[in-house]
């Protein structure tokens, strides 16, 4: 069977061969250093500028000047969020894996499927 015939057959079944996809070559990423002072300052200003209704989106993203997309790297997104004392960020889902670390705060926690 020729590749073109196989491609046609797969297409008729809503399938596609991965051999037709050309993965772009990523150039090596240059390092970049973000200063905690800048991140913290931005978070404090966001705390004043963005109200509780948007608290779960009170997020600052690390954006590398070396990546053509608005991201931390080609494969990773790194963000910091800030929630004021007494605020509860609305639950939301991610299509990708998310890891949460509480950097600072007394009594702060995150909940996943009802588990603290």
Domain range for 100: 26-116
What does residue 40 show for φ and ψ, rounded to 5 degrees? -60, -45
Asked whether residue 68 is assigned to any structural domain, the reply reads yes
Contacts with 11 (C-beta within 8 Å, 6 or more apart), sequence order: none
Asked whether residue 79 is assigned to any structural domain, the reply reads yes
Tell me, what DSSP letter sits at residue 27? P
Cα separation, 51 vs 6, whole angstroms: 55
Cα separation, 4 vs 8, whole angstroms: 6
Structural domains in the chain (count): 1
Asked whether residue 92 is assigned to any structural domain, the reply reads yes
Cα separation, 80 vs 36, whole angstroms: 11
Asked whether residue 4 is assigned to any structural domain, the reply reads no
Report the helix count and the strand count for the chain, using DSSP H and E.
Answer: 2, 2
pLDDT tens for the chain, residues 1 to 116: 899 999 999 999 998 888 877 766 767 788 999 999 999 999 999 988 888 777 667 888 899 988 877 788 888 888 888 887 777 766 666 666 666 666 777 777 777 778 87
Asked whether residue 87 is assigned to any structural domain, the reply reads yes
């Amino acid at each position: 069977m020729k590749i073109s015939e196989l491609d046609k057959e797969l297409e008729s079944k809503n399938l596609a061969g991965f051999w037709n996809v050309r993965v772009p070559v990523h150039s090596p990423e240059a390092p970049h250093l973000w200063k905690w002072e800048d991140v913290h300052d931005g978070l404090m200003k966001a705390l004043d500028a963005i109200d509780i209704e948007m608290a779960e989106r009170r997020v600052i993203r690390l954006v590398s000047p070396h990546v053509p997309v608005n991201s931390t790297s080609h494969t990773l997104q790194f963000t910091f969020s800030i929630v004021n004392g007494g605020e509860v960020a609305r639950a939301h889902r991610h299509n990708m894996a998310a890891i949460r670390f509480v950097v600072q705060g007394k009594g702060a926690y995150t909940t996943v499927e009802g588990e603290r």
